[in-house]
């Protein structure tokens, strides 16, 4: 009995080999042979047969291999029929996905390629003017629409997300996993659909290429609010909160500008709740709003800081404020990048703060002649270099000067870059 089971298992493997051999036949050059239903009958007969001797089993498999597979009886111009035909001959679902996705990619590749300028038609004399940028935006928009159409077709036919399937096939994590992975499969599809729906509506708002007017800003703000409301209704309050913590602009900005603060989960949630409320009201107001809007925003900013201080406590609020200073973030990032002690970031920041305050004092000192002011500013830049080089060490100092130390050179400027006169860099004193 055990021997017969092993033999029958061998038949099953042999039959599957027949089917997969048929699938690998070149689709572009099908050979007219016996119909697939005949092959299927042979396969079913081989599976059901229970001969007494192994020699007869081998003979059955040999006969099956001699039958050529007719791909024409399976392939169809209708993708749904094509998929059903593949299933009818026992093709595994994973292989069906691979075949259909490859075919759809080939179909759309030529359409998308046609929307890229041909290298032969490159106009080397054409400048990057408004007309050229408008044309490229139009082509990019058309390419995006085709990509989206392709994704929707794959979703409709196979019930899978194209990007997730690409990630699975390549062994890399799905880029959407961190944004949607906490949701059920049904809610993931709802969230992605809604996200794309409102992104498209936002693109349509800017399609005409007109300026960012107060009217357009108001429409954009209303569109964002409408999208969040619909997303909240679809996901429910708990999942919507999780969605915002992963996907909102407020959360993304916090992950960038709180590196020096290093919040824990509880702190992040508390800060997010306060900043999200502020951002919803003012993030799109722009710096050139009317006086009333600017005053309102200034008052709201002060109220936000008071709320943060009450929520975080004195010390952590101080750390938070420090992390919002671009100069401190730059120092912190440099120290992390080169695995330097955390105290290095504090030293860099303290030296920079003191130097820039002294620069302001020198600039505003009316008793100094232009020549004396220029000399004092150049001396300040040199003294700052002399203070930082031994602190960082030779290697770190060289790296800092090459990428992060541009502010030191600006210390010698007698006015801001917007001013009419700037200081001249002088050779470093020995």
The pLDDT of residue 32 is above 60? no
User: pLDDT digit string (tens) for 344-376?
Assistant: 999 999 999 999 999 999 999 999 999 999 999
Choice among 19-23, 295-299, 358-362 with the minimum mean pLDDT: 19-23
> Global pTM?
0.57
Predicted local confidence at residue 227, as pLDDT: 93
Regarding predicted confidence, which is higher, 210 or 273? Answer: 273
Choice among 181-190, 207-216, 232-241, 413-422 with the minimum mean pLDDT: 413-422
Predicted local confidence at residue 376, as pLDDT: 95
Predicted local confidence at residue 6, as pLDDT: 36
Mean pLDDT value of segment 320-345: 91
Choice among 116-130, 255-269, 299-313, 369-383 with the minimum mean pLDDT: 116-130
Regarding predicted confidence, which is higher, 13 or 109? Answer: 109
Helix H, strand E, coil C: the string for the chain is CHHHHHHHHHHHHHHHHHHHHHHCCCCCCCCCCCCHHHHHHHHHHHHHCCCCCHHHHHHHHHHHHHCCCCHHHCCCCCHHHHHHHHHHCCCCHHHHHHHHHHHHHHHHHHHHHCCCCCHHHCCCCCCCCHHHHHHHHHHHHHHHHHHHHHHHHHHHHHCCCHHHHHHHHHCCCCCCHHHHCCCCHHHHHHHHHHHHHHHHHHHHHCCCCCCCCHHHHHHHHHHHHHHHHHHHHHHCHHHHHHHHHHHCHHHHHHHHHCCCCCCCHHHHHHHHHHHHHHHHHHCCCCCCCCHHHHHHHHHHHHHHHHHHHHHHCHHHHHHHHHHHCHHHHHHHHHHHHCCCCHHHHHHHHHHHHHHHHHHHHHHHCCCCCHHHHHHHHHHHHHHHHHHHHHHHCHHHHHHHHHHHCHHHHHCCCCCCCCCCCCCCCCCCCC
Predicted local confidence at residue 131, as pLDDT: 80
Domain range list for the chain: 2-88, 338-410
């Amino acid at each position: 009995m055990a021997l017969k089971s092993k033999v029958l298992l061998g038949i099953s493997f042999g039959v599957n080999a027949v089917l997969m051999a048929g699938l690998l036949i070149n689709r572009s050059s099908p050979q007219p042979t016996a119909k697939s239903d005949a092959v299927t009958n042979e396969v079913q007969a081989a599976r059901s047969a229970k001969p007494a001797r192994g020699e007869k089993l081998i003979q059955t498999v040999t006969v099956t291999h001699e039958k050529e597979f007719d791909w024409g009886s399976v392939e169809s111009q209708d993708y749904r029929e094509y998929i059903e035909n593949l299933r009818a001959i026992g093709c595994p679902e994973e292989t069906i996905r691979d075949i259909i996705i490859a075919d759809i990619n080939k179909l759309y590749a030529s359409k998308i390629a046609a929307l890229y300028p041909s290298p032969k038609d490159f106009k080397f004399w054409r400048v990057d003017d408004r007309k050229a940028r408008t044309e490229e935006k139009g082509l990019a928009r058309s390419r995006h629409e085709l990509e989206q159409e392709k994704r929707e077709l794959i979703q409709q036919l196979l019930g899978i997300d194209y990007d997730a399937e690409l990630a699975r096939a390549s062994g890399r994590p799905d880029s959407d996993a961190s944004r949607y992975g906490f949701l059920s499969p049904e809610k993931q599809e709802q969230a992605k659909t809604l996200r794309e729906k409102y992104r498209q509506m936002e693109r349509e708002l800017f399609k005409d290429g007109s300026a960012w007017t107060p009217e357009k800003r108001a429409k954009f703000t209303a569109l964002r609010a409408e999208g969040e409301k619909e997303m909240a209704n679809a996901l429910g309050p708990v999942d919507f909160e999780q969605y915002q913590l992963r996907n909102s602009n407020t959360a993304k900005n916090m992950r960038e500008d709180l590196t020096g603060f290093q919040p824990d989960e509880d702190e992040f949630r508390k800060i997010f709740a306060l900043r999200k409320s502020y951002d919803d009201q003012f993030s799109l107001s722009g710096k050139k709003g009317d006086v009333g809007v600017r005053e309102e925003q200034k008052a709201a900013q002060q109220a936000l800081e008071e709320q943060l201080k009450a929520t975080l406590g004195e010390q952590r609020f101080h750390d938070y404020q420090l992390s919002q200073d671009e100069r401190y973030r730059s120092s912190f990032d440099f120290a992390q990048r080169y695995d330097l002690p955390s105290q290095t970031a504090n030293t860099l920041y303290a030296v920079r703060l003191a130097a820039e305050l002294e620069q302001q004092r020198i600039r505003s000192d009316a008793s100094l002649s232009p020549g004396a002011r220029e000399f004092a500013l150049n001396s300040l830049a040199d003294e700052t270099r002399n203070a930082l080089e031994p602190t960082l060490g030779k290697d770190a100092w060289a790296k800092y000067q090459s990428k992060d130390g541009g502010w030191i050179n600006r210390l010698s400027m007698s006015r801001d870059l917007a001013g009419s006169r700037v200081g001249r860099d002088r050779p470093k004193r020995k």
